[in-house]
Structures are given as C-alpha cells and as structure tokens.
C-alpha cells in the first residue's frame, strides 16, 4: 500500500482579531456566554484586501517554500472549501496560477465542509498513486464571515476565517490509515448559487450529538484497520469546533489532555482550515517532531466525518 506523509505545513491568517467583547457590540452576547459553551474567546475576520483566495495562496506558498521541493515536482493541488471566492474557476486553479505551478496536473476544489482538508488528503493520495509525481499540495480555507448572519447569535459567534496547507509525499509502505464517511442531512447548511443571500444555518444540538459520536467512530475505525491504539498516537488534532466536544472525546479515551490539541480559543471554528492551521501552529511551536504519528479528525456539514493517521516527516521548526 502506498501511504502519505506530511513534509511541510503553512497557514494564512487574517489580520483582524475579533474578541467576544467585539462580538457583543454587534449581537446580544457576552464573553462568558460564548466561552462557557464553546471555549472560544476570539476569532479572525478578513480585513480589507483579504479574502478566501488571498488566505489560500498565502498558506499554500508557505507550505511549498518550507517543503524544500521544486514546485514542478507537485502532482496535484486539492483545496477544501465551502466559501470559495468564485463558483468557477476553482480556488485550486487560482492557487495554481498565482504560484505558477505545473499545468499538467489535476487541480480541484472539494466540498466536505469541516472534514474538507482530510478528504483532500485522501483525494490527493489517490491521484498521486495513479501518477508519476509523488508530491501533492492540499489546502483547507474558509472565509466564513461572508456567510454569517450577524443577527443569529447562536452561530455568528462560532466562526472565523483562515487557511492551512500541507505538502504531502506518497510513499510505498508509509504508515497510513484513513476513514471517510458521511451521514447525509441538513443539520448545517449554507444556501448556494442563486440565493438572494447565503448564510450559515445550524441545529447546534444535533451537530453536537453527531460530533461526539463521529469522532470516536472515526478513530476506532482507523485503530481497527491499523491494529494501533491511542498509545501509538503522538498527537490527535481534531476539528476545532467546540472545546466541549474535544473534552468529551478525551474523557472517553482516558487520554492525556495534552494529546488532543485545542486552539479554538483564539481562532474559533474555521471549518476546512481548522485541522491544517492547528497542525501548522503546533509545528511552529515545536510541539510536533519529525517522525511522530498524527491522528487527524474532521467532522461537519454533510454530515461528513473523516480521519487520517499518518507520519509527520517535516523538518524541525
């Protein structure tokens, strides 16, 4: 089996910080109300001159520059997003143009919501296994602020903007296992092309119930297929939707809290960008070492769920 390893990461984060106090000026809420329910204190909003595409290009460029490879070695560009600047062309195509990447490779967007980056890893793996080049660029990016209903305090306080990216390499017999799945439903939805105005709608209680069952389902499936256990995982990076969801999973596995990284306190829920930006932040802080095993887990609209257990083989930060 050909698996994949991560060799570099990058991020593109907006410059505008929106605290809970800032949100309270726009909608009936408070820092106490938001933080006790979500674990979020602040998030990033795109400022003037920043958008989904600029964030994606910044993250992709950083990951590629850190990888040490020539851009002509790339075999695909995959971008997970639900808030692309254009319905067509794809964000991946525009990243390809901006970074002058090879023209003879597949480049495409995928919509798997908050599981989009991990879906992207598996799509990239399949394409690389079928081709001659061994490196792929995978991006998760969202500009969720442009689809927020600022009168809906139950949703507008949750989300932020951001982009994360990784360069991966496909390798024969690389330790790798994945799980991709979905449970179709409209618990979270955003109106599509043609709508007078597209905004996020979410049944919070239903999504919470789904999340606390989906994460163990994904992790257990990967453990069953790989023969591994939580002791074999150095870091578990889950979608950063809600601190209470991750705390529930930590308790279920009886795992050390430090094994499950959390950064939603400073960035909120950035959907497809959340897992790669968290991974990038860990690498920049020196928390992830080359050769360590990562468990990546995403869940979100669709309802989608995805996981990947793989090695991080990047350079030291």
218 burial via Cβ count (<10 Å: 0-12, 13-18, 19+): buried
**Residue in 20, 52, 242, 269 annotated catalytic:** 269
Helix (H, G, I), strand (E, B) or coil at 315: coil
Asked whether the beta carbons of 160 and 44 are under 8 A apart, the reply is yes
Whole-number pLDDT of residue 122? 98
Question: What length is written for the chain?
Answer: 317
pLDDT tens digits in sequence order for the chain, 317 residues long: 799 999 999 999 999 999 999 999 999 999 999 999 999 999 999 999 999 999 999 999 999 999 999 999 999 999 999 999 999 999 999 999 999 999 999 999 999 999 999 999 999 999 999 999 999 999 999 999 999 999 999 999 999 999 999 999 999 999 999 999 999 999 998 999 888 889 999 998 999 999 999 999 999 999 999 999 999 999 999 999 999 999 999 999 999 999 999 999 999 999 999 999 999 999 999 999 999 999 999 999 999 999 999 999 987 76
Q: Which residues pair with 310 in a beta bridge?
A: 176, 294
Whole-number pLDDT of residue 31? 97
Q: Is the dihedral of CA 166, 63, 86, 273 positive or negative?
A: positive
114 burial via Cβ count (<10 Å: 0-12, 13-18, 19+): buried
Kindly report the CATH number assigned to the domain that includes residue 39.
3.40.47.10
**What is the tally of structural domains in the chain?**
1
Whole-number pLDDT of residue 1? 75
**Residue in 114, 156, 236, 238 annotated catalytic:** 114
Q: Quick one: which of 97, 83, 81, 303 has its CA closest to 214?
A: 303
**Residue in 46, 79, 235, 239 annotated catalytic:** 239
Whole-number pLDDT of residue 197? 87
- Give φ, ψ of 201 to 5 degrees: -125, 135
Q: Which residues span the domain enclosing 126?
A: 1-317
Whole-number pLDDT of residue 193? 84
Report the distance separating Cα 40 and Cα 268, nearest Å. Answer: 6
Is 313 tagged catalytic?
no
Is 114 tagged catalytic?
yes
pTM: 0.96
Is 269 tagged catalytic?
yes
Report the distance separating Cα 45 and Cα 53, nearest Å. Answer: 14
Whole-number pLDDT of residue 317? 64
Report the distance separating Cα 267 and Cα 265, nearest Å. Answer: 6
């Amino acid at each position: 089996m050909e698996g994949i390893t991560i060799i570099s990461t990058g991020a593109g984060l907006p410059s505008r910080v929106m605290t809970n106090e800032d949100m309270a000026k726009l909608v009936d809420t408070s820092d106490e109300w938001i933080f006790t329910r979500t674990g979020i204190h602040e998030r990033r909003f795109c400022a003037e001159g920043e958008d989904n595409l600029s964030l994606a290009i910044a993250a992709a460029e950083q990951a590629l520059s850190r990888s040490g490879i020539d851009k002509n070695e790339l075999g695909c560009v995959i971008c997970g997003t639900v808030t692309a600047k254009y319905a067509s062309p794809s964000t991946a195509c525009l990243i390809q143009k901006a970074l002058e990447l090879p023209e003879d490779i597949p480049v495409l967007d995928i919509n798997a919501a908050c599981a989009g980056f991990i879906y992207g890893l598996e799509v990239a793996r399949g394409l690389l296994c079928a081709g001659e080049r061994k490196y792929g660029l995978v991006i998760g990016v969202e500009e969720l602020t442009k689809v927020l209903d600022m009168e809906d305090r139950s949703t507008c306080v949750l989300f932020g903007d951001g982009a994360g990216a990784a360069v991966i390499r496909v390798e024969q017999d690389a330790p790798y296992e994945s799980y991709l799945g979905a449970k179709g439903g409209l618990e979270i939805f955003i109106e599509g092309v043609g709508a007078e105005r597209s905004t996020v709608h979410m049944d919070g209680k239903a999504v919470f119930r789904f999340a606390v069952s989906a994460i163990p389902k994904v992790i257990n499936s990967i453990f069953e297929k790989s023969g591994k256990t939580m002791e074999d995982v150095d870091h578990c990076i889950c979608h950063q939707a809600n601190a209470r969801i991750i705390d529930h999973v930590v308790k279920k596995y009886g795992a050390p809290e430090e094994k499950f990284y959390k950064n939603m306190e400073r960035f909120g829920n950035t959907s497809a960008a959340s897992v790669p930006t968290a991974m990038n932040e860990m690498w920049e802080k020196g928390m992830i070492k080359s050769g360590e095993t990562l468990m990546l887990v995403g869940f979100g609209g669709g309802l989608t769920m995805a996981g990947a257990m793989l090695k991080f083989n990047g350079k030291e930060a």
